[in-house]
Amino acid sequence: MNDINFGGKVIWFTGLSGAGKTTLANEFQLFLKSKGLNTRILDGDDLRKGLNQGLGFSDNDRSENIRRAAEVAKLFLDSNFIVLCSFITPKNEMRNMAKSIIGEGNYIEVFVDCSIEECERRDVKGLYKKVREEKISDFTGISSDFDIPHNPDLILNTESNNLITCLEQLKILIGVN
């Protein structure tokens, strides 16, 4: 793994809604800040309220959502930030686009793996309930595809590992303790 002291990195969390992307990014940011590192979180839900307002959940809109997020991540990367990106990023081609915008050497892909059944059981934002009531369409994992990532740098299974264990693996991944 590259030494992060040589510059920033983008950690790209991909996974189903409710898998744990936001929780991991927030907790890991606290740890990185405690080490005096500059960090920035980019979260799909937040960006859709501003920069990405008006984009929906068609494949085209999802791609545009990721393209803009990756471009913003690159800006922070260029200022040597560790950027923690939480986006479902359902398709391999979208992940590849993010990687090519950010640059292969600075893009670290983390697959936040959790079964759809467990995500639905958690239903952190009440979205799965709405999907079952047919109030939401094109929902990843149910009515829209999620490709299993081809070659992530790390797989964190949040069903079989608790938060502390996942955070330990992230620390090892980027070489900060």
What are the helix and strand counts (H, E) for the chain?
Answer: 7, 5
Residue (24 or 72) nearer to ligand ADP, CB: 24
Residue (80 or 161) nearer to ligand ADP, CB: 161
**Smallest gap from residue 161 Cβ to ligand ADP (A):** 5
CB 15 within 8 A of CB 94: no
In whole angstroms, what separates CA 29 from the centre of its chain? 13
Q: Which residues form the interface with ligand ADP (CB under 6 A)? A: 15, 17-24, 86, 112, 122, 124, 158, 161-163, 166
CB 10 within 8 A of CB 73: yes
Rounded to 10°, the helix 21-34/163-174 angle is: 60
**Alpha-carbon distance 109 to 11, whole Å?**
6
Residue (55 or 80) nearer to ligand ADP, CB: 55
**Smallest gap from residue 143 Cβ to ligand ADP (A):** 17
Helix (H) or strand (E) holding 154: strand 154-157
**Smallest gap from residue 48 Cβ to ligand ADP (A):** 13
- Residue from 112, 149, 109 nearest 10 by CA: 109
**Smallest gap from residue 96 Cβ to ligand ADP (A):** 21
Residue (30 or 163) nearer to ligand ADP, CB: 163
Chain residue whose CB lies nearest ligand ADP: 20
Residue (82 or 166) nearer to ligand ADP, CB: 166
**Smallest gap from residue 175 Cβ to ligand ADP (A):** 21
